């Protein structure tokens, strides 16, 4: 029954890839990790994680932080000044799900792109740039999310990403990659982390989703910017003491759980194809790039469907009146999908 055991064994949890729990081997790695005081700069396991991530992403330095939101927000703060404008897709995590952080913490405004599945073009970047005029905010930072959550786990075509970031740099912008699920983008395309990262000043990457660690994200970039991120981490209350426990889990995930993400993508495709057989259920099979499946429930109220599915031990998220999301992860295996599909099909066909 996936990675869940004991009392969780009957639950098929498709709400998010954040619901994963550490494997036995990951727990052992955590317990065996040498520890220090990371606030004082001497936790050896945190140092190892930061060095490994800097190497993987081809950057000078890295900083371990508690969450993806803190990773993104410290990068925004380090790369902007109050009054600057951030160029990003309207569905970006930094805007939709980080509690107004860019406004509250960095004093920044947004200019939005609205392309399908979280994508936009270099021409749209050119059109969004503000004139050099003291009446306007300064266009300062471009943010790309890859994979894009609200885009259905969409993976940016790397040629398009390179073109967009090259245009942004030519126009004087800094570039940040929200790579919370960059590991999924790597698994889906075979593109290495450093290939994605080469187009950005800073990158954030999450350990608590597809890699299955209990918490934590990394920021990578040049040494000067990452030094600012370290200071901002302290300012925002994110500096931890014996955080080598968490760093060890992240290291284990990096070394042992990246290849298995292909299984999550395969199961997402299988689930999507099963949902597509339900009348009035709208799902775009061509949009299933990775481990996230969005679908419309037709005439069914999504929140009512969520409650009904949960009563049958299958958890999904309703994200609108008729919109639902399922996310595949280490918490779900092939047997779980075998059990979940008839529950979902019966409910969506009105047979529950």
Q: What is the per-residue pLDDT for 1?
A: 42
Ramachandran quadrant class, 83 (left: phi over 0; alpha: psi -120 to 50; beta: rest): left
Architecture category of domain 24-256 in CATH: 3-Layer(aba) Sandwich (3.40)
Cβ atoms of residues 29 and 47 within 8 Å: no
Q: What is the per-residue pLDDT for 352?
A: 59
Strand order in the sheet with 84-89: 61-65, 217-221, 202-206, 174-179, 138-145, 84-89, 109-113
Cβ atoms of residues 252 and 29 within 8 Å: yes
Q: What share of the chain is helix, strand, coil (3-state, %, to 5)?
A: 45, 15, 40
The secondary structure element, H or E, covering residue 63 is: strand 61-65
Long-range contacts of 24-30 (CB under 8 A, 24+ apart): 25/252, 25/256, 26/212, 26/213, 26/249, 26/252, 26/253, 26/256, 29/248, 29/249, 29/251, 29/252, 30/245, 30/246, 30/248, 30/249, 30/252
Predicted structure pTM score: 0.95
Which residues of the chain, if any, have pLDDT below 70? 1-9, 351-352
Determine the straight-line distance between the first and last CA of the chain, rounded to whole angstroms: 23
Q: What is the per-residue pLDDT for 3?
A: 44
Query: Is-same-fold flag (24-256; 260-348)?
Result: no
Cβ atoms of residues 98 and 73 within 8 Å: yes
* CA distance linking residue 302 with residue 285, whole number of Å: 20
For residue 117, how many other CB atoms are within 10 A of its CB? 18
Question: CB neighbours of 149 closer than 8 A, spacing ≥ 6?
Answer: 91, 93, 180, 181, 292
Residue bearing tokens 């993400």? 261
CA distances from 237 to 39, 61, 231, 258 (A): 11, 21, 10, 30
Considering the domain 260-348 in this protein, what is its CATH number? 3.90.1150.10
Cβ atoms of residues 243 and 75 within 8 Å: no
Domain definitions of the chain by residue range: 24-256, 260-348
């Amino acid at each position: 029954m996936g990675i869940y055991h004991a009392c969780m064994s009957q639950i098929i949890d498709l709400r998010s890839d954040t619901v994963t729990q550490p494997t036995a081997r990951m727990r052992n790695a955590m317990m065996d990790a040498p520890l220090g005081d990371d606030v004082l700069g001497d936790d050896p396991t945190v140092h190892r994680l930061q060095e490994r991530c800097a190497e993987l992403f081809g950057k000078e330095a890295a900083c371990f932080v508690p969450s993806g939101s803190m990773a993104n927000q410290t990068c925004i703060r380090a790369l902007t000044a109050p009054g600057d404008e951030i160029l990003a897709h309207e569905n970006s995590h930094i805007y939709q799900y980080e509690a107004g952080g860019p406004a509250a913490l960095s004093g920044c405004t947004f200019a939005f792109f609205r392309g399908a599945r979280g994508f936009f073009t270099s021409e749209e970047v050119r059109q969004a740039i503000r004139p050099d005029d003291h009446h306007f905010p300064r266009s300062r930072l471009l943010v790309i999310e890859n994979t894009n959550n609200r885009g259905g786990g969409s993976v940016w075509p790397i040629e398009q990403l390179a073109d967009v970031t090259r245009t942004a740099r030519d126009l004087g912008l800094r570039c940040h990659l929200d790579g919370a699920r960059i590991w999924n983008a790597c698994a889906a395309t075979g593109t290495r982390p450093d290939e994605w990262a080469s187009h950005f000043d800073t990158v954030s990457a999450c350990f608590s989703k597809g890699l299955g660690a209990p918490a934590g994200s990394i920021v990578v970039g040049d040494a000067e910017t990452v030094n600012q991120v370290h200071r901002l981490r302290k300012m925002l209350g994110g500096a931890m003491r014996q955080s080598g426990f968490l760093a060890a889990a992240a290291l284990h995930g990096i070394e042992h759980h990246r290849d298995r993400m292909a299984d999550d993508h395969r199961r997402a495709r299988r689930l999507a194809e099963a949902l597509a057989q339900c009348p009035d259920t709208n799902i775009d099979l061509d949009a299933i790039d990775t481990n996230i499946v969005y679908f419309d429930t037709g005439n069914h109220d999504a929140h009512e469907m969520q409650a009904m599915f949960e009563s049958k031990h299958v958890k999904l998220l309703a994200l609108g009146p008729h919109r639902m999301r399922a996310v595949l992860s280490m918490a779900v295996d092939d047997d779980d999908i075998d059990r979940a599909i008839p529950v979902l099909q019966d409910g969506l066909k009105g047979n529950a």
